[in-house]
Amino acid sequence: LWIRGIPLSISAAVGFIALSGVAVLNGIVMVSFIDKLRNEGVPLDDAIRQGSLIRLRPVLMTALVASLGFIPMALATGTGAEVQRPLATVVIGGIISSTILTLLVLPALYRSFYTTK
């Protein structure tokens, strides 16, 4: 919002709510897949590496499709655009940043906080 000079509004807040669902879902899918590999006996570092690589394409596809779907709303200039633009801007920027966090930071956090059962 700050980069595009758009003030925080109700529609931007709705965008944050929608974004949180997608970001959490991607994180849950990644962690559950790593846990599945761990339960199959794969060593921790290998499970994190394999889980991240195998889930890379689905996470990127989800982010790309969602971002591309909101571009027309973000660039709209017609009637109602002042309501659509903040929502789309939040979702596009948030999905891009949450994808980076899911793919890079989440595996590192998993490694840091993993405890043997």
CB 4 within 8 A of CB 89: yes
Computed from CA positions of residues 79, 83, 86, 88, in that sequence, does the dihedral angle turn out positive or negative?
negative
Domain 12-112 fold is Multidrug efflux transporter AcrB transmembrane fold (1.20.1640)
Q: What is the pTM of this model?
A: 0.79
Around Cβ 95, how many Cβ atoms within 10 Å?
22
Domain ranges, ordered by start, for the chain: 12-112
- pLDDT by 10-residue block (mean), the chain, 117 residues: 74 88 88 93 93 90 89 87 87 91 91 78
CA-to-CA distance for 47 and 44, rounded, in angstroms? 5
Extract the runs of DSSP E, i.e. beta strands, from the chain: none
